[in-house]
Chain A
C-alpha cells in the first residue's frame, strides 16, 4: 500500500539544565494514503514532540534529532534545511492545533489568513485566492462565508475558529494533515460537528491524517489505525478494532479501564497508579513496569521488543513472550475481548477500516 509517511527509529531529545530529556525514544510508524492514524498517550508521552518533529517545529536547541529518519514520500525530512521545509510545511503537510485562538493571527482577517497560505504556495492571483478562500470557508460549514472572510478571529466562536483553521490547513490540499488535539478545547456537541467535518473532508480530498488525542472516544470515532504512546515509545499499535477489542499491552488495558463507559453500570474504575516516568532517566526495562500490576521480574531488567500479534497488530510487552505466564486482563477489557470474539465468529474476519 502507498505510504505517505514513514517514521523510523526516531529519537528526539531536549538538552536542558536537568540533563538530556529523551522525549521520543525510538518511534516507528507509517501513515498510508487516505487513512487516519490516531496517536494516543498522556501528556509527556511524546506524542506532540513526535508530530512536531515531522513538521520540524521543535526549537533546536534545546531540541535535537538524536537518531532515526522521517521519510515523507521517500524524502528524509530530518536533513532538510529550514528553507526546504518551507515548501513542505503548509503545502504538503498541514497542521491543526488544539487552541484555535492562539494559532490564528488576531490582527488579521480570517479570509486574509487563508489567502496568505494560498499565495505563498500556489501561483494564483489575489482575487482568485480570495474566491478560493470563500469557497473553503463554505466547505468547512461556515455560514455566510463572504461576510465571515472579512471578520477577525475574535468575532468567531471556538467551533467556528477551528473550522477556519481546518480551511487554512486544507487550502493547499496537503497530502498529510496533522491534527494535534483539535477538539480538546471544544464542547462535546461542537466536537462532534468538527469530527464529522474532518471525516467528510478526508473522504473528499483523500488526505492522510495523523490525529493526536488522549480521548479514547474520539479515537474510536476517527481512527483506522491506532498507536499508543508511553514514555516516548509506541507500546502498542494496531487497527482500531484490534486496539479496542483485543488490546495486549497492560498500559492500553489501563487506559481502557480507567474510562467510564456509558453502557457499563456500576463498575469500579481501575485507575493506573502513580504517574508517568521521568524521561531524563528513563527506567530500565519496560517503562510501564513500575505502574503495572502485571509486571514481571524481566520487565525491570530488559526492555521488551515489539511482539507481533497479527499482520497489523504489535505490542511491546513481555506478556506476549511464549514463556510468559497467562494473565487475565481487567474485567472491562475481558468484556471487550469477548465482544470481539463474538463479532469475529459472526462476521468472519473483523475489518479495521471504515
Chain B
C-alpha cells in the first residue's frame, strides 16, 4: 500500500528540548519518528503542549533540533548548510501560520507580502513580471487583483489566511506545513479555506503537514494522522482506520471527547478517560511499533502482548 510510495519527509527520532533555566529541561518533542509521503496530507493532532507545533517548527528549522534528523528529499534539513543551500531548501518548504492577524506584517502591502519570497529567490525578471505573479496568486487563492495594493488590516480573517496561503505558494513549494491554519476562523470560513487547500493540493501536487487540535477537520483533510501526547507520538494510522479503530487509550479518550453536531449522539455519549498512570502504572518503556499494516501504536510490552492475544482470538 504505502511502502512503495515516495517519501518526501522522513522524521527520525526528532527531539527538541528547551532549557528553561535552573537545570530544568522541557522535552517538547521527544524522539518522534514518522514519514510523510509525496502528495499526501499528514495530520498531526494533540492537545496544547503536546509538542505538535514544535514538531512542525523543528521540521522547517525554525528551531534547531536537539537530536535526530529530518530528511527532506534525501537531504538532512538540520545538516550544515551555507546560505545558498538554506535558500534552496526554504523555497521547497513553506509554512502557513495559525494567527492570520499576527503573521502578516501590517506595514506591508499585500503585494509586497506575497512577493517577498519572489524577491528573495529572484523568481521574477522585472517589476511587471513580479506583479503578474502576484495577481495570478491572488486569483488562485480566491481574491482579486485589486487587493494587491491594500494592507492586511483591510481584510477579514478568512481573507488574511488566503493571503498567507498565497505567500506560501509564491515560491512554488513542494511541501507546506500548516500550523492550525483554520483554528482562528469562523465555521463557515473554515470550510472555505479547507476546500481551497484541497483544491491547490490537487492542482499543484502539494504535500501538507496539517497541524491542528480539531480532530473532525483533521480527519476530513488528512490521509494519515499522527496523535501526539506529551512530546511523543502515541499512534499513527490512516485517518479512517484511526477513527474506526483507535488502539491507544489516549487516542480513544480524545475521540470520545469531541462533541458532534448530533444531539442524539451527545445525549448518550460515553467518554473514556485517559490516565497515563493507569494505562502504564509502572512507567514501563513504551515502544512505537507497527501493530497492523500501516497502524503504529506506542505500547508497552505488556499492552502489546495483550493486543496480540486479543487479535489471535
Interface residues of A (CB under 8 A from B): 42-43, 158, 187-192, 195-196, 214-221, 223, 240-241, 244-245, 254-256, 258-263, 265, 268-273, 275, 343, 354
Contact = CB atoms under 8 A, between A and B. Distances in A.
If over half of B's interface residues share one DSSP class (helix, strand or loop), that class is named, otherwise mixed; here it is: helix
A221 B220 CA distance: 21
Interface residues of B, number: 40
B243 interface: yes
Given A192-B259, A260-B216, A269 B264 contact: no
A262 B186 contact: no
Contacts of B190: 258
Contact of A271 (B195, B243, B263, B269): B195
Interface in B150-206: 156-159, 186-192, 194-195
8 contacts: A43-B186, A188-B258, A219-B261, A244-B262, A271-B188, A271-B195, A275-B158, A343-B264
A271 B191 contact: yes
A191 B253 CA distance: 12
A221 B259 contact: yes
Given A187-B213, A220-B261, A262-B215, 11 more contacts: A187-B48, A188-B257, A189-B274, A191-B257, A216-B187, A244-B263, A261-B262, A262-B216, A269-B194, A271-B188, A272-B191
A244 B264 CA distance: 10
Contacts of A187: 47-48, 213
Contacts of B243: 262
Given A189-B274, A220-B266, A262-B216, A255 B188 contact: yes
A269 B258 contact: no
Contact of B260 (A42, A220, A254, A275): A220
Contact of A42 (B48, B186, B240, B261): B186
Contacts of B253: 189
A221 B274 CA distance: 21
A262 B219 contact: yes
B271 interface: yes
Contacts of B277: none
Contact of B261 (A192, A244, A272, A273): A244
A258 B188 contact: yes
Nearest to A192: B257
A267 to B, nearest CB: 9
A214 B259 contact: no
B186 A261 contact: no
A180 B159 CA distance: 26
A259 to B, nearest CB: 6
A258 B261 CA distance: 11
Contact of A269 (B191, B257, B261, B265): B191
Contacts of A219: 261
B143 interface: no
B254 interface: yes
Nearest to A43: B186
Contact of B192 (A220, A223, A262, A273): A273
6 smallest CB-CB distances across A and B, nearest first, come from A217-B259, A258-B191, A271-B191, A260-B220, A272-B188, A216-B261
Nearest to A254: B188
Contacts of B191: 258-259, 269-272
Contacts of B107: none
Identify which of B186, B217, B253, B259 gathers the most chain A CB atoms within 10 Å of its CB. Answer: B259
B125 interface: no
Contact of A261 (B240, B261, B263): B261
Contacts of A259: 187, 191, 216, 261
Nearest to B193: A271
A271 B271 contact: no
Interface in B236-291: 240, 243, 253-255, 257-267, 269, 271, 274
Contact of A265 (B240, B255, B264): B240
A220 to B, nearest CB: 4
Given A187-B47, A189-B253, A191-B259, A221 B215 contact: no
A40 to B, nearest CB: 9
A68 B192 CA distance: 36
Contacts of B47: 187-190
